[in-house]
A and B are shown apart, each in its own frame.
Chain A
């Protein structure tokens, strides 16, 4: 090692917003002040995944893992740890821990994880091609160019069992094989980085933490399918990822790893970045192509599939960020190695964005087949604030809610499908007793309706009608007949919608009809929202006995609907109340009752 110690600081988006940039500056300053500039290197890395506890700092070689480090802590880390060799215990994840150097592996958040896609995130400086190369970067490309035929690459992917991580789970090798077989003077390799699923950010972290892995995999796809042009379609809302990708592309070109005659062979490949502009439907590959062509991102019927007629009517292979990130490792270690991880039908690992009412939210990577319980209560540390688990939602607006009795289900494409949900791109949102399934489903449906491109009637009209029906339920005016209509509409949408968006829009609705009948019935029959979320079914009242007439609630009320003299019990005008709950929050005497 060139330096005696390395200080790795996370600079993913979440940690940067927790002031990790200032922290890096402070560390530099302190290291120079202590005259350690020659011994210690400070490295800004990609996402460690443990966003809940960011900013994260890791000191090598001892691997001490610090959490929630503030710029003001820099002096202590340098003086105590780097100068005197004593770790700053108060910044460890578990300060009570007996070991002097608590490592990342000691923390339950990391114990069940297997990091293949995220192998370099939080390990290397994403802006340094040298660090990527030092971690076997571009070795797979070299191996493919010099030792493998395109058929050989496809065979290896077939053996690996890798399936598309964008949501649908189509075998990657077949996509490549189809595109390779079509004869054409021009073909395209595209990367779908238009991560639009609310509550999911695995692609963002991968691109920000390890951009070269995507470039390498796209070039391998180019060599295999006979294409020399790659396009990354990325959300404009991810400026940091775009900046790092651009830098990675120019570095790769400088090193002769991209452009003409790559590594001295006849293989040429160039990658260009195209920005998305906020349209969820562009995750659908034909819509993504329409958008890249500069128009409205509306899907078209398939076939012809993009493998035959894609971008500019040329054969095009489109894969998701996470799929690409897995490929260099598979080709280095072999398909058989990869196939040992996971379940019978779903191989390898999957990255999930574990968020919601969970103790340790963050980005995790687990082998397929890990149970939901292991993820939520093991890695995630269970529910926050001692609340009770209600449901976990996977697959975002296209997925469904899964109740407690299925928590021991091993995750794979088929199992989640049987439960009425999907693996999807990897959003995993945990809900507790305070969340209402009707309210959450309305949120998803509202999203899908807003994002429907409007081209086909089942999605455009069906989604809107479903939302109207569900809205009635949430207002206490729904009937059993409405549930029957929702089921019927859902079936029609699943069968007749043009693309995946419309086909999966009913999934959240169907999942609550199936798994949360009691809660749904409470809304319909009892006109009651058990979680107290559906505002139309909530009533705020003031307990005359408990109210001392302090007037705080009346002053806090945004619509002035609370009346009463000072030192006299107050009354809420139910007609005008907007049910915001401000009075409940404001009352110090527990006199406001929510029912």
Chain B
């Protein structure tokens, strides 16, 4: 009960801060929007698909990309809070340590879902269509990805405690994951073989299956299981480093 109350308290404070400066929410949408507008038109020719099919292929992957890049860098905010002494101030209170993490991750998930909803709406004119039930499942998947990566980001931020170290590490890890997930173009050859070991490949395929109105596709349940397991593992890892350095 205390955990729920404390998490909610941390979440509402963090959310208040986001809403006070909602411009960052929009800025976070810029990257996928650029891809939608400046990269999307190329796909039609490259994949020899109709425009509608190309966007149905591309936008679900873009949503996964948004979930990845929107949450991987949340650790920066934590480093700023550590530096300001805010986290230490909270550590001296009896507030649940896990709540300090969960409240922040919850904010990241909610922020991401708002962005994902905006992106989905913006992609509708390009010929995207989806059923409510499938959209719900797709967004559940995105929420799990956001939870996992925000937890990873916080755990690493607690370890490194420096933006200068966090940024290159995040780029070094996220770029191959992105390229090997088939978000931008379908994978083929040896890249496809390697990509099969990438959990995000399942997420991207699942997202595409859902937007194609095929929730029974094996990729959907596989992605949900894999991402759930990873999200729980990441949250446990982050919670442990929180409990350690935030005793």
Chains A and B are bound partners: no
Binding site for B on A (CB under 8 A): none
Residues of B within 8 A of A (CB): none
